[in-house]
Chain A
Amino acid sequence: MTTAPSEARAIERPAIEFDHVSFLLNGRPLLEDLVLSVKRGETVVLLGRSGSGKTTTLKLINRLLLPTAGDVRVNGRRTTEWDSIRLRRGIGYVIQDGGLFPHFTVERNIALVPRIENWPRQRVEARVSELLALVGLNDELASRYPSQLSGGQRQRVGVARALAADPTILLLDEAFGALDPITRSEIQKEFRTLQQRMRKTVIFVTHDLREALLLADRIALMEEGRLVVDLPAAEFTRSELPLVRAYIEAFSGLPDTNSHDGITRLAE
């Protein structure tokens, strides 16, 4: 959305920066002194249990929340300085079960941002077909309502909607959490392939270590509003931190060790 004056500088500058950010709700800290920086094109997974501050962190990026202390900078600019509407239209957002509008067809759901941005009609239509193909959905689904879709299809529509206006940043909050394991695994892999092609800046919130290992360039582990550790995905499983070990323990207790992604990597 925002084109930087100089491409070279834009690449060096982090897409998202948390500079000693705290967020208090009714005097209770939900996030404390977070320092985190996300490079352009990087996929960072925020891993942690419920209540660890992951979702709060995400909402601070698109200004659904404003920090109590510290600065959140998106493309070098403080979120408090951004016009919130402009900021949000440049950031894709996917939530569990898609958060689709039940009274809109798939086509209108996907075309939401392009429409309010007044794209010409033909461009909107072309973009919708393009996106349906991108997330692996048949064109025929365009006229259906969300309730007429399966959970996996709804989630794909949610991803397509977030990508509609070609944002540089994508936020996903437990996006695939409501899906059955087989569908989830399919979508995770497709998303990874998609991301390798698009190179968006992605912040992905999850409590699923396997999902984190599959998708992340970097994993930021959070606990009780604090960032515990921030490591490249490959190094994460080698960490000796007790909380990391506890996570690996919790996810390696399954009887089936032939699984192809998470567990074999855990065993490395």
Chain B
Amino acid sequence: MNFLQFMMTNRQQVLELTLEHITLAGVATILAALVGIPLGILITRVPQLGKPVLGGANIIQTIPSLALFGFLLPAPWIGARAGRLAILALALYALLPLIRNTYAGIRGVDPSVVEAGRAMGLTDRQLLFQVELPLASGVIVAGVRIATVLSIGLATIAAAIGAGGLGEFIFRGLAMVNNQVILAGAIPAALLALIADFLLGQLERRLGSLRGRS
């Protein structure tokens, strides 16, 4: 059990890197949600913006992740802090599922329910917060779930630019040609993704039942 021995002797560092990893992915997802969800709402209100916004987010996702980290490196205001750079790159990646699911969730609300709300004299804001967002919340959380899992996976690459996280072990193991060290990074990262997926899945199911009540 060489791998377990490695984990035990380095548990302090495993813990540190795991926390770093959670911070990177967590902050990135929250940032992406703060931008992506309002953008998703915006394009349901201003349909002309739909194509450019979704197209833009799509293009970002097609950039290979390693290249994106590289591209951002020269930006002067983040270059000095690798952690911030990594968070920005991860947030950009997480944007697409958030925008798309928010948009799809709101558009998927039964049009007769929205029209009834409008006909009863709800303002646009009341319609959004009392009707559309609650009914779309299951789909939006599904987007958050995808974005979170994506960020946890991609955050391993952040180590390539010295931002830390469990990728440190993976890159170190690759350099040392040592599988134990690679696994010490890969297995906790995979576990983190699974746990996040499970927890957000529970939340999604609970919120999805709102719509199921229709």
- On A, residues with C-beta under 8 Å from B are 62, 64, 84-91, 93, 95-103, 112-113, 116, 145-148, 161-162, 171
Contacts of A161 in B (CB 8 A): 120
Contact with A along B94-137 (1 / 0, CB 8 A): 00000000000000001011011111111100100011001100
Known: A86-B121, A113-B120, A116-B122. A146 touches B213 (CB 8 A): yes
Contacts of B212 in A (CB 8 A): 147
B84 within 8 A of partner (CB): no
Known: A95-B112, A103-B134. A85 touches B211 (CB 8 A): no
Asked if A88 and B119 make an inter-chain contact with CB atoms under 8 angstroms apart, the answer reads yes
Asked if A89 and B210 make an inter-chain contact with CB atoms under 8 angstroms apart, the answer reads no
Between A and B, 27 residue pairs with Cβ closer than 8 Å are: A64-B115, A84-B121, A85-B121, A86-B121, A88-B119, A90-B121, A93-B116, A95-B112, A95-B115, A99-B112, A100-B116, A101-B113, A101-B130, A101-B131, A102-B110, A102-B210, A102-B213, A102-B214, A103-B135, A103-B211, A113-B121, A116-B126, A146-B214, A147-B212, A147-B213, A162-B120, A171-B119
Contacts of B214 in A (CB 8 A): 102, 146-147
Asked if B116 and A89 make an inter-chain contact with CB atoms under 8 angstroms apart, the answer reads no
- On B, residues with C-beta under 8 Å from A are 110, 112-113, 115-123, 126, 130-131, 134-135, 210-214
Contacts of A91 in B (CB 8 A): 119
Asked if A99 and B115 make an inter-chain contact with CB atoms under 8 angstroms apart, the answer reads yes
- In the complex formed, the residue of A with least CB distance to B211 is A102
Residue with the highest number of chain B CB atoms closer than 10 Å, among A85, A89, A90, A145 = A85
How far does the alpha carbon of A199 sit from the alpha carbon of B134 in the complex, in Å?
37
- In the complex formed, the residue of A with least CB distance to B112 is A99
- In the complex formed, the residue of B with least CB distance to A59 is B119
Asked if A102 and B135 make an inter-chain contact with CB atoms under 8 angstroms apart, the answer reads yes
Asked if B121 and A99 make an inter-chain contact with CB atoms under 8 angstroms apart, the answer reads no
Contacts of A84 in B (CB 8 A): 121
